[in-house]
Amino acid sequence: MSIRLRLTLLYTLILALTLLLFGTALYTVQAQGTLNALKQELSRGGESTVQMVLRFYRDASLLPPDPPPGEDHRPPLQDLSSEPAFQQLREREIVRVLNAEGVLVATPFAAASEALPLSVEGLDALRNQEIWWEIASWDEARLLIYNRPVIVDDELVFIVQTARPLTEREDSLRTLSRTLLIAGVLTTVIAFGIGWALAGAALRPIHRITQTAQAIGNESDFSRRVDYTGPDDEVGRLATTFNAMLVRLEEAYRRVSEALSLQRDFVADVSHELRTPLTTIRGNLALLRRTPPLPEAEQNEILVDAEVESDRMTRLVNNLLLLARADAGPSLKHAPVAVAPVIEESCRQARQLDRQREIVEHIAKDVTVLGDRDALKQIALILLDNALKHSQGSITVSVKAEAPWALLEVRDVGPGIAPDLLPHVFDRFHRGQANSDTPGFGLGLPIAKTLVEGCNGAIAIESTPGCGSVVRVRLPLWAEQDAKPGTSATER
């Protein structure tokens, strides 16, 4: 069952229950109101009849004070029935006069046998001088009967019955119930149709969201958006949130696609880099197995070539291993490390890579950071190696304290980095078109960034095309108050 149908049925059910409660209340109020009105009219008519009967009783003395035994105690009917006032009573209100035993005494237009119904409970209540209301069937009609005791000298003398048919009231109530039923059914049907249309209009943006999601799933096109121009209600906020999610998904999908493309290129580069030394080593080994054997000088050259290629593969594998450890979240030490010895050692090793290049050092001797010594050295070597590969002039290395940080800068003079490539220098596997012929795998700066962040530091790069680049590393300074008992020694 769709949400649209469920909402429409819910609205219709609520309306139907409301109409049912309203109709029941209206019918009950109308029924009770008409009944009370009839009772009031009957009470007024009955009281008039009682006053008339009392006057006749006092004047005519219908009941003898001491009737002889065996004689009929009922007064002569013709005396009261022939009274003009009694004759003038409206036949719409049926009037009967009974004696204390409940026997018919007088009636304006009827014979003595046509008495109105009176139950035993009603007769007992009248004898106890209580008014009694009764609804009974009489002459194929339902009557509302008002039974009024006539008390003289604290004794029940007569019972006056005033009745009126309930036919008009019941016909009116039946008409009212049919009207309420028909109106309720028609209103419910119309409300169902209107609710169906309104629910469809309200859920139309959700339907468009569903269609957009299906299209995105089928076409993998995250550039599509939900077209919503309605008010800023719950559905509007849903459409806005869905569009915002699509923006983030599109960006994430783009990044994942770029990363996968870079990884494919990286795998191809690694395969090429590994295939070349492996082919060289295999060829050299085949040469060493030749018979007769090669001269000793040539054998030494072959071994040197194999060693160089083996070192190259070792460096590649070490970089991949370091990157894998970085992805796994390496646990670096956080101990005081003197920066100057580490940077000076790294500069000496870097000079061995290119003895023609000048590396200028401006290193403060009293700078101590809270970090990992091996990570700090790896960071310095990566930055120096990167500067040697991508520049031609001198390289300047500086270390100074800028509380609460220690600042390490590596500045080179060279072609620099293009502005469109600068935001991607820390992306893994990224080398840039300008550097596609430069040896390396695009892992140095990403590894350095991971290590710096592992030491709770930050790294940034600035570059001016045609002038060179500068890499700045900030690491937290170590202070004496940071030392724990037993850890005051500085790593060197």
Closest listed residue to residue 478, CA positions, set 342, 341, 367: 367
Which tokens is 143 given?
């009557």
* Tens of pLDDT, residues 226-254: 777 777 777 778 888 888 888 888 888 88
pTM of the model: 0.47
Kind and range of the H or E element at 79? helix 77-81
Q: N- to C-terminal Cα distance for the chain?
A: 73
Q: What is the pLDDT of residue 488?
A: 47
Asked if the bond preceding 292 is cis, omega within 30° of 0, the reply is yes
Q: What is the pLDDT of residue 199?
A: 85
Asked if the bond preceding 341 is cis, omega within 30° of 0, the reply is no
Write down all domains in the chain, each with its CATH number in brackets: 3-61+75-172 (3.30.450.20), 234-325 (1.10.287.130), 332-482 (3.30.565.10)
Report whether 77 contacts 106 (CB < 8 A): yes
| Cα Rg of the chain (Å, integer) | 56
Residues of the chain scoring pLDDT < 50 = 61-67, 69-78, 110-112, 433-434, 436, 486-489
Q: What is the pLDDT of residue 418?
A: 84
Token match 């018919």: residue? Answer: 104
CB atoms within 10 A of CB 251: 11
At position 251, the amino acid (one-letter code) is E
Token match 């069937």: residue? Answer: 137
Residues 6+ apart with CB under 8 A from 348: none
The C-alpha atoms of residue 106 and residue 79 are separated, in whole angstroms, by 9
Q: What is the pLDDT of residue 90?
A: 52
CB atoms within 10 A of CB 159: 27
